[in-house]
Structure 1
Amino acid sequence: MVTYRIDVADAQAHLFELTMTLPRPESRQQVSLPVWIPGSYLVREFARHLSGLRATQGGHERAVTQLDKATWEVACEGGTTLTLRWRVYAFDTSVRAAYLDANRGFFNGTGVFLRVHGRESEPHRLQIGRLPRGWEIATALSAAPGGGFVASDYDELVDHPVELGRFWRGEFLAHDVPHEFVVAGALPDFDGERLLADTQRICEAQIAFWHGGRSRGKSPRAPFERYVFLLNTAEDGHGGLEHRASTALLAARRNLPARGSTEVSDNYVELLGLISHEYFHTWNVKRLRPAEFARYDYTRENYTELLWFFEGFTSYYDDLFLRRCGLIDPARYLRLLGRTVTAVQASPGRQVQSVAQASFDAWVKYYRSDENTPNATISYYAKGALVALALDLSLRRDGGSLDAVLRRLWDGSAGGPIGEADVAAALEAVGGRSYARELADWVHGTGELPLQELLAAAGVAWQSQAPSMAQRIGLRVSESALGGIKATHVLRGGAAEAAGIAAGDELLALGGWRLRRLDDAQRVLRPGDTAELLAVRDQRVLSLSLRLPADASLGAPVQLAPAPKPNAAALALREAWLGR
């Protein structure tokens, strides 16, 4: 058995100390640290935070040779147990790596545990050393006899994040499965009972979705014995990372529900949507997963064209489950859906890159956004969600549903790896016809999705809203409280690009009037007019000519709402989709 011990070496210096013991090592034993963490598709080079690697056998030092950026080889003698020691700098507040200070500790195994080559399939044990007074441990790892935790192999070990510190914790049952919720950094008025009750509704609905509702007095059986939510709250931040029996979450404190308030604020809905998203991943990507992820390669990129399905479809269902649980009404759900439509419509990159390409390029594009990102790429989360919407509404017109497609994929693969051919076969089996054309156009093509037509057939009204000045001219800006306006993204084909505005420009005045907010420009110019725009670039004042288009050049905001008087067929479809 491979055994690890992790200690708080110096909380103020943000240092964990790791010790690993390995019986019967190879004579040239290799170890390495993963370069990425499953669920976040970017080579993050965790080894840059590792230092001081030393090896001993029987109290004698052994030579350690670094072979590449994240791999080391130890010259061992005989079969004596090998002991490795190293330190990890932990000051990443995201859900992807490790963090340590005087108030809190957190780590993912991919950022701290060296992988022993050739021994990955053996049981791995984790011991957590002495902690500061009052600190607790939260993780979904199984408790080991005699203390600590145990995993069946390396993959399982690193798929269970660990939270350390003083935190709030609560529990509930969802279809007889124990669930624990841990919240770090919450304000004193945090309403934990409300969060537990609402999360329970989400979990019960999703377990029933994948495994059928309660029948004959028995609950549907989830694919885990216990589940843990690890939520860290901060002044600002948002994110989540799925694991096989837990999730690490990051949210702003203002998103937590407060005692004495029954309001379902936009901030709270955002948190519930995040919870729903990561919990849905327990099935859709952690078990039902791309064939390319049947076994992770921790040393390099793991490419797949299917993130539009695994991330995009999960993004479709996250808010939809809030509706199904009764946490939001149909009108609010449609407003949320309208924001996704608006975001995709406002991205010229949707006409350049398909969602299949976006999935494959995630390693070099999605997590490395820059001023040209909206023009060159499309989010496989956002457009993938709209592909799911389009397929769901198409299937419902054909007598099926996307729900049935996902359950068929789950049952047919026993919750295992799948490919796009499996998705196509499930669509055809449920819908009664081939969806090859839709997959070719919507997934591998860059044409527009027929959303307006499909939504109208489901009794949903599509309303274009008045665009902001930025949307009208194809520009994204940041505005400071002191009145500074800075261009962050210039969208392809817009009036801002035609005028010669570049990302990074500071916009000063238009038509002789000082600009404090970009929307003030609509009071200076009428649609179709042209005026002088003063901008600053690299300390130089530029005079540019800006023409205000009559309409939003790159898509006006879209608002979706229940149509007031749909026909009987549209009403029936909408109620089957969103409920009454």
Structure 2
Amino acid sequence: MADSSIHFTVSFQEPQAHYAEIQIDLQQFDKDYIDLKMPVWTPGSYLIREYSRHVERLSAEANGKAVRCEKIAKNTWRVYSHKENVKVQYSVYGFEVSVRTNFIDNDHAFLSSAATFMFPDGFLNHPSTLSITLPENWSSVSTGLPTVPGKEHTYYASDFDILFDSPLEIGNQDVWHFEAAGVQHEFAMVGGGTYDKKQLSEDIRKIVEIETDIWGENPNSRYVFITHNYQNGGGGLEHLNSTVLGASRNGYQQAATYKNFLSLVAHEYFHLWNVKRLRPKALGPFDYEAENYTTGLWIMEGFTAYYDNLIIRRCNFHSPKEYLNLLALDFNIVYNRPGFQIQSAGLASFDTWIKQYRPDENSSNTSISYYNKGAMLAAALDIRIITETDGAKRLDDVLRAAYQQFYKTEGHGFEESAFQTLAEQTVGVDLSDIFEAAHTNQELDYNDFFEKVGYQLIDVNANNQERSLGLKTAVIEGRIVVKVVERGSAAWDAGISVDDELIAINGTRLDVLGKELDFVLEQGAIDDIVDVLVSRDGLIRTVPTPLRRTTKKVYTIQEFEQASVRAKELGRIWLSI
């Protein structure tokens, strides 16, 4: 089928109702029927999202006459082409605010390509073209796809992997350009905001150039930032030569919020190499119809989560203290979830399809985030390499070597064992204990690492005698309702359950401000038994519950007073001071 072609046309007849109309022109496909499939997930966001649920009114015709088509699976439509050129039409509904789903209204359209376009079964490697028909009051299209010369708002994808990795922003976005690391960058701002274009371009230029220096090259000739500004927004999703970001429109003039945005930029741009090119074998070529399992997201997302704030530190946007506080936050997040004793970073990676994006009331007791735990492990690796090589090498060298070996030379994804072997060969350091820790529930002694660079991880809450029941509540229509019960806590052992309404304690009715409960916790002694009156499914019961010392961790990373002069020097190398 050398002469076959696939062309998509996108139009918007009812944007106010949140619809896009898609037309597929299939020519020279010498088949009795074509199965058109919609991806069920999008790379970078590891959850089956069932995008086909938003497809409506699919029909097909050839030579102006209707062609029979039927839905044969949740995401598959069979079109009986009778070896003719076929035109397929369908509508897609989009009204979900996120970086991975479609959103369409009167003002603009954001299209996640995996949630919008179908592929002919067996033809993922086939090229396609795409044209956008803009409503009268819209003027711009922002996408990483290259344009087709001489055709307005028409783009080319060499295969469906490229198409599905190229989101589109369509409307009246504020667009400007700047160059960094020899690459042309486009910024597309949606939703207004208090941003300063010049300052933002200068700051992001620093990020781009530092990251390019880490990896040794910038593989793109053009890169697109699509940013959606909301009253309160966040999140990002990486793509091969673009990213989609969420931000708070009035946060650009607030120092902390702006630095958080720059960290998000650093994170998603870092993925240009780490995930989009250097990757585990499972993450490409993709199966768009099922889960793609890997235990390696602690490397891909965890390392990136370690580097995002570290790069902001290297740009001197964060002071050393600010950076250390942010790194300590990873430890606080992990160690304040009892799930760290149950789920390893590797298992969290593998189970991302069923846990990471589907939290429930028990998630903190059973799981961790491979982002935070991966960042902790990356810090251990970086510090180990710095100290064992006396500052000559660090984790940067491992990433650069892995990029060259697995992506540039071998052209495929890696096995974790091969990544570890290459890392150890690159820096000449035994890293086995850290890689093993990624797949067990045995914790590293992180002060074995921090103290060698002049710092110490300290739980400043370790001696706190504050009492706690070990639960979290929410006030719902004037009722105090339990939302989380911490594993191993007083409430857990006593049998208080999520969705119990707390009514009284020791015969005193509780108030929604929590003052009565606070009084009992302050006045009671550890191991005292208090009577908690609850309503469970409308039935009243008393639950005798012990008071226990709080298990909340409050970690900080502070200077280690006994550190040697050389340790302090290595710490300056680590923090780029």
One fold, TM greater than 0.5? Answer: yes
Quickly say closer, same or farther: Cα 1:446–1:424, change in 2 above 3 A: same
Distance in 2, Cα, partners of 1:224 & 1:401:
25
Q: Aligned partners of 1:96, 1:569: CA distance in 2, in Å? A: 47
**Counterpart of 2:381?**
391
Q: Per the alignment, in what secondary structure is the counterpart of residue 45 of structure 2? A: coil
Task: Select 1:121's aligned residue among 117, 125, 136.
Answer: 125
CA distance, structure 2, for counterparts of residue 59 and residue 168 of structure 1: 40
SS of 1:171's equivalent in the other structure is strand
Q: Deviations over 1:170-215 (max 9, x none)?
A: 322111211111121123x43333322222211111111111xxxx
Q: Which residue of 1 aligns with 2:407?
A: 414
Taking a change above 3 Å as real, the CA distance of residues 19 and 361 of structure 1, as seen in their structure-2 partners, is same
Correspondence for 1:283 among 273, 281, 287: 273
Aligned to 1:417, the other structure's residue is in SS state: coil
Q: Which amino acid aligns with 1:156?
A: I
Does 1:547 pair with 2:546? Answer: yes
Give SS of 1:323's match: helix
Aligned to 2:314: 324
From 434, 437, 454, the counterpart of 2:449: 454
AA at the equivalent of 1:352: I
Q: Distance in 2 between matches of 1:272 and 1:331?
A: 17
Do structure 1's residue 101 and structure 2's residue 94 form an aligned pair? no
Task: Measure, in 1, the Cα distance between the counterparts of 2:203 and 2:538.
Answer: 53
* Structure 2 match to 1:405: 398
Asked if 1:264 is matched to 2:244, the reply is no
How far is the alpha carbon of 1:313 from its aligned partner?
0.9
Measured after TM superposition, the shift of residue 564 of structure 1 is 6.0
Q: Judge conservation of contact 1:470–1:518 (CA < 8 Å) in 2.
A: no
The match for 2:96 is: 92
CA positional deviation for 1:322: 0.7
Farther-moved stretch of structure 1 (111-120 vs 223-232): 111-120
CA contact (8 A) 1:226 1:245 kept: yes
> Is the CA contact 1:513–1:524 (under 8 Å) kept in the aligned structure 2?
no
Return 282-291 or 489-498, whichever deviates more.
489-498
Q: In 1, distance between residues paired with 2:537 and 2:79?
A: 52
User: What residue number does 2:143 align with?
Assistant: 139
Query: Partner amino acid for 1:130?
Result: L
CA gap of 1:556–1:521, structure 2 versus 1, over 3 A, is farther
Q: Gapped runs of 5+ residues in structure 2?
A: none
Q: Which residue is equivalent to 1:168? A: 174
Contact residue 108 and residue 138 of structure 2 kept, 8 A: no
Number of residue pairs aligned between Structure 1 and Structure 2: 559
How many Å separate the matches in 1 of 2:258 and 2:490? 37
Question: 1:3-60 CA distances to partner (integer Å, 9 max, x unpaired)?
Answer: 1000012012111000111111222211100011001111110000001111111112
Tell me which of 53, 59, 62 is aligned to 2:67. 62
Distance verdict in 2 for CA 1:483–1:460, change over 3 Å: farther
The Cα of 1:286 is off from its aligned counterpart by: 0.5
More deviation, 289-298/507-516: 507-516
| Contact 1:210–1:407 (CA under 8 A) maintained in structure 2 | yes
Greater mean deviation of Cα atoms: 41-50 or 54-63:
54-63
Contact (CA 8 Å) 2:56, 2:91: kept in 1 or not?
A: yes
The Cα shift of 1:435 comes to 2.6
Q: TM-score with structure 1 length normalisation?
A: 0.91
**Pair 1:478–1:569, CA change in 2 (3 A):** farther
Q: In 2 relative to 1, CA 539–193 (structure 1 residues): closer, same or farther, beyond 3 Å?
A: farther
Partner of 2:206: 201
2: distance between equivalents of 1:110 and 1:297?
12
1:433–1:194 distance in 2 versus 1, CA, 3 Å: closer
2:481 — aligned with what? 486
Deviates more, 1:555-564 or 1:444-453: 555-564
Alignment of 1:514-553 (within 5 A): 514-518=510-514, 521-525=517-521, 526-528=524-526, 529-550=528-549, 552-553=550-551
Judging changes above 3 Å, is the alpha-carbon distance between structure 1 residues 506 and 234 closer, same or farther for their aligned structure 2 residues?
A: farther
Q: Is the 8 A contact 1:351 1:446 kept in 2?
A: yes
Q: CA deviation at 1:414?
A: 3.1
Q: Distance in 1 between matches of 2:38 and 2:112?
A: 12
Distance of aligned partners of 1:471 and 1:274 in 2 relative to their CA distance in 1, 3 Å threshold: farther
Counterpart of 2:558 in structure 1 is 561
CA-based RMSD of the aligned residues comes to 2.2
CA distance in 2, matches of 1:223, 1:375: 41
Task: Summarize the alignment of residues 18-417 of structure 1 with structure 2, pairs less than 5 Å apart.
Answer: 18-25=22-29, 26-78=31-83, 80-147=84-151, 148-187=154-193, 189-211=194-216, 221-254=217-250, 256-258=251-253, 264-265=255-256, 267-399=257-389, 400-415=393-408, 416-417=412-413
Cα distance change of structure 1 residues 269 and 82 upon mapping to structure 2, 3 Å threshold: same
- Confirm or deny: 8 A CA contact 1:5 1:127 kept in the other structure: yes
Please report how far the alpha carbon of residue 485 of structure 1 lies from its aligned counterpart in structure 2 after TM superposition.
4.1
- For 1:537, give the aligned amino acid: R
- Return the match for 1:571 from 560, 568, 571: 568
> Identity of paired residues, percent?
33
- The one-letter code sitting in structure 1 at the alignment partner of 2:140 is E
* 1:485–1:184 distance in 2 versus 1, CA, 3 Å: farther
Q: Name structure 1 gaps, 5 residues minimum.
A: 212-220
> Are the equivalent residues in 1 in contact too, given 2:95–2:103 (CA < 8 A)?
yes
Name the CA distance, whole Å, in 1 between partners of 2:41 and 2:293: 12
Q: Which residue of 2 aligns with 1:463?
A: 458
Code of the residue aligned with 2:284 in structure 1: it is: A
- Alpha-carbon offset, residue 111 of structure 1: 0.8
8 Å contact 2:474–2:482 — kept in the other structure?
yes
The AA in structure 2 aligned to 1:339 is: L
